[in-house]
């Protein structure tokens, strides 16, 4: 799709009247009580599916997206979907998640902005929730997904897959609902958000809330160019630095100047232009209110809260588990995945994805991620599928950059 022109909209959220794309919806018509002792009287989740659900419902997989992802895991950019699928190399004929064998379900998270109930959605009075939208936790998001599974008639998932924020939700599924997850793939995530991970989000949240277009979270009637896109763009710039690695940025950009102009001549550093580009893309397809809501939900993540600590909570997992991390990830370092693998019964050694791309390697290194999925699927009794097998730490082959 062509790049938008003109001033950015107040929100990049999908809104009623926009093309539905490949989305389906489930409306959870009973109130959803949240950990913050607040209530969402009605919740709607957008989701996409691939494949056919078996009569015994044994082939259902749940794929969970990261912070600024959505239900569009695979497929082209098209009306209703501003970007191509974020894991499009992993779903399709002959790929790790083959719709010929599996029924793949990917919801847009509660609090998101691509069809599911979130700050940009209408509240019962018809106006956007905005500042009235309650605080969410990862557990609240999974509680909504449990009702989605119930609505679809899926008593248990053959596999739950997630990276980054999606990995947090996958882990919450297997700890909070151990009888409903048969296998799980946890990628580039942690048992609890660390002080440093929370610290990285603080300036992002401040940037959005300091934007004069934020208006306390009630900006949805603003004209194009008057919403909180500047603060959202700053937040994206900060976050994107944590998603990549220092060696990759050094190799790609060094101290180069964009278009050969020195900054003191009105130009930009090449790496500055790169961050500007990613900020500009996000403000057209995402919502600042959802960014705040989901970031705070990630900060809430602590699998051991109220469960006797993380070690005790991890021992509740019954699912066959494979944990993987990226060797250059400075946001969710490998030590956090090693802790998960050591604490979850039967998980074995962490699988290491070798990549120069940092945390974003979980999205970019499709060949290695697919190999991990192939290894896990081959070990599921009665569900063995073809595919490469990943090796253990230190010997995962490097794939070509995509």
> For residues 54 and 63, what is the distance between their CA atoms, to the nearest angstrom?
17
Set 164, 193, 245, 300: catalytic member:
164
Tokens read off for 381:
């009794």
8 Å CB contact between 88 and 63:
no
- Crossing angle for the helix pair 195-210 and 229-243, nearest 10 degrees? 160
> For residues 311 and 325, what is the distance between their CA atoms, to the nearest angstrom?
19
Active-site residue, 327 included: no
8 Å CB contact between 103 and 52:
yes
With DSSP H G I counted as helix, E B as strand and the rest as coil, what are the percentages for the chain, rounded to 5? 35, 15, 50
Count, residues in the chain = 402
The CB-based long-range contact list for 221-228 (8 Å cut-off, 24+ gap) reads 221/10, 222/10, 223/10, 224/6, 224/7, 224/8, 224/9, 224/10, 225/7, 225/8, 226/10, 227/8, 227/9, 227/10, 227/11, 227/288, 228/288
> For residues 122 and 125, what is the distance between their CA atoms, to the nearest angstrom?
7
Active-site residue, 206 included: no
Set 72, 329, 360, 399: catalytic member:
329
Name the β-bridge partners of 192.
302
> For residues 251 and 241, what is the distance between their CA atoms, to the nearest angstrom?
14
Active-site residue, 140 included: no
Set 65, 98, 359, 360: catalytic member:
359
What residues act catalytically?
164, 329, 359
């Amino acid at each position: 799709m062509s790049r938008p022109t003109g001033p950015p909209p107040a929100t990049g959220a999908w809104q009623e009247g926009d093309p539905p794309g490949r989305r389906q919806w489930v409306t959870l018509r009973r109130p959803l009580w949240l950990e913050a002792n607040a209530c969402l009287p009605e919740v709607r989740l957008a989701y996409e599916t691939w494949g056919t659900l078996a009569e015994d419902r044994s082939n259902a997989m749940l794929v969970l997206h990261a912070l600024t992802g959505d239900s569009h895991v695979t497929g082209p950019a098209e009306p209703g979907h501003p970007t191509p699928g974020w894991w499009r190399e992993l779903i399709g004929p002959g790929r790790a998640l083959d719709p010929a064998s599996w029924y793949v379900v990917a919801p847009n998270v509660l609090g998101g902005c691509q069809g599911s109930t979130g700050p940009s959605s209408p509240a019962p009075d018809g106006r956007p929730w905005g500042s009235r939208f309650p605080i969410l936790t990862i557990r609240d998001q999974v509680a909504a997904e449990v009702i989605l599974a119930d609505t679809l008639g899926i008593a248990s998932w053959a596999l739950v897959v997630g990276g980054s924020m999606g990995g947090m939700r996958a882990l919450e599924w297997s700890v909070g609902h151990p009888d409903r997850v048969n296998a799980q793939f946890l990628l580039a995530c942690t048992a609890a958000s660390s002080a440093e991970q929370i610290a990285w989000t603080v300036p992002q949240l401040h940037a959005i809330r300091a934007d004069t277009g934020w208006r306390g979270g009630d900006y949805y009637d603003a004209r194009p160019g008057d919403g909180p896109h500047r603060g959202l763009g700053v937040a994206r710039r900060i976050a994107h630095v944590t998603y990549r690695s220092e060696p990759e940025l050094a190799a790609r950009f060094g101290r180069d100047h964009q278009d050969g102009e020195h900054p003191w001549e009105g130009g930009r550093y090449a790496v500055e232009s790169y961050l500007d580009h990613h900020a500009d893309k996000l403000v057209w397809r995402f919502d600042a209110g959802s960014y705040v809501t989901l970031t705070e939900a990630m900060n809430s993540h602590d699998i051991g809260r109220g469960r006797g600590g993380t070690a005790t909570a991890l021992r509740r997992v019954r699912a066959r588990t494979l944990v993987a991390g990226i060797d250059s990830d400075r946001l969710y370092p490998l030590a956090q995945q090693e802790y998960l693998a050591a604490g979850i019964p039967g998980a074995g050694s962490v699988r290491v994805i070798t990549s120069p791309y940092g945390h974003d390697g979980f999205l970019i290194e499709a060949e290695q991620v697919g190999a991990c999925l192939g290894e896990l699927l081959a070990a599921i009794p009665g569900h063995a599928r073809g595919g490469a097998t990943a090796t253990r730490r230190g010997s995962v082959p490097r794939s070509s950059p995509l």
